[in-house]
Amino acid sequence: MSDPDRAFSVRRVDYADTGIAEALASVLVDCVEGGASVTFLHPLSSAKALTFWTDALASARRGERVVLVAEDASGSIMGTVQVVNAPAENQPHRADVAKMLVHRRARRTGVGAALLHAAETVARDAGKTLLVLDTVTGSDAERLYARLGWQRCGTIPGYALGPHGELCSTTVFYKSLFYESLGE
Ligand SMILES: CC(C)(COP(=O)(O)OP(=O)(O)OC[C@H]1O[C@@H](n2cnc3c(N)ncnc32)[C@H](O)[C@@H]1OP(=O)(O)O)[C@@H](O)C(=O)NCCC(=O)NCCS
């Protein structure tokens, strides 16, 4: 997933990487500080963010999800996204795309789009045919998903709190990799 024309590359996390949970935690803290509604309220402590990533990486090690990272030439993490297998036994074909996070210093350079493309490739390679996600209505992320061909299902008003406690609506998206493969 490396492109010589880009100033970054995207790869699956190697769970043996030292310091990977800490690096991912600092991206998460930065996104919450920047006003992103991604599970946590502001202020998010480094310790809580680290616990989140330690659990996510343990889940990845169990094969429940794949964690992808974008990093610059020096190996510094610029962003991340996850492909999370649906837990229900009657949805082996489905996964969620979750925790798409790009550090503020690296935004608007194509990192988010590259992570989303890579997540779709990982899902396709794993035999998934349906991807689902939700995001804050009117956010930068909503534009990103629509731009990359995701279908809007609808909006749920007041679904979650933003980092400063304000109610936010969420928009649910899906992408069918099955129909995409048929060219529809
Ligand atoms: C949403 C998010 C992941 C997007 O990441 P990103 O790396 O900035 O995404 P991209 O760079 O691919 O695209 C963002 C914008 O930059 C533009 N862009 C991309 N490369 C560019 C370049 N080289 N020069 C100028 N603009 C560029 C894109 O066209 C896009 O424009 P738009 O927002 O006006 O449509 C990021 O804003 C983020 O982490 N937000 C906080 C966390 C969050 O809300 N996550 C979503 C959870 S569901």
- Is residue 166 in a domain? no
Q: Find the mean pLDDT for residues 10-18.
A: 91
Name which residue sits closest to atom 30 of ligand 1, judged by CA. Answer: 108
Cα angle value 36/137/124 (rounded, 5°) = 85
Q: Is any atom of ligand 1 closer than 6 Å to the C-beta of 110?
A: yes
* Number of separate domains in the chain: 1
CATH classification of the domain holding 121: 3.40.630.30
**Ligand 1 centroid to 70 CA: how many Å?**
13
Q: Is any atom of ligand 1 closer than 6 Å to the C-beta of 5?
A: no
Residue scoring higher pLDDT (14 or 101): 101
Percent of the chain topping pLDDT 90: 91
Question: Which pLDDT value is given to residue 1?
Answer: 66
- Among candidate residues 42, 43, 119, 51, the one with its CA nearest the CA of residue 79: 119
- Is residue 151 in a domain? no
Summary mean pLDDT of the chain = 96
* pLDDT at residue 3 tops 80: no
Residue scoring higher pLDDT (6 or 64): 64
- Over residues 149-175, the pLDDT tens digits come to 999 999 999 999 999 999 999 999 999
**Ligand 1 centroid to 79 CA: how many Å?**
11
List Cβ neighbours of 112 (8 Å cut-off, separation of 6 or more). 79, 100, 102, 140, 141, 144
**Ligand 1 centroid to 4 CA: how many Å?**
20
Supply the range of the domain harboring residue 41.
8-129
Q: Find the mean pLDDT for residues 113-142.
A: 98
Phi, psi dihedral angles at 32 (to 5 degrees): -65, -40
- Is residue 71 in a domain? yes
Here the tokens at position 11 are 């790869």
For the CA of 99, the closest atom of ligand 1 is: 47
- Over residues 31-78, the pLDDT tens digits come to 999 999 999 999 999 999 999 999 999 999 999 999 999 999 999 999
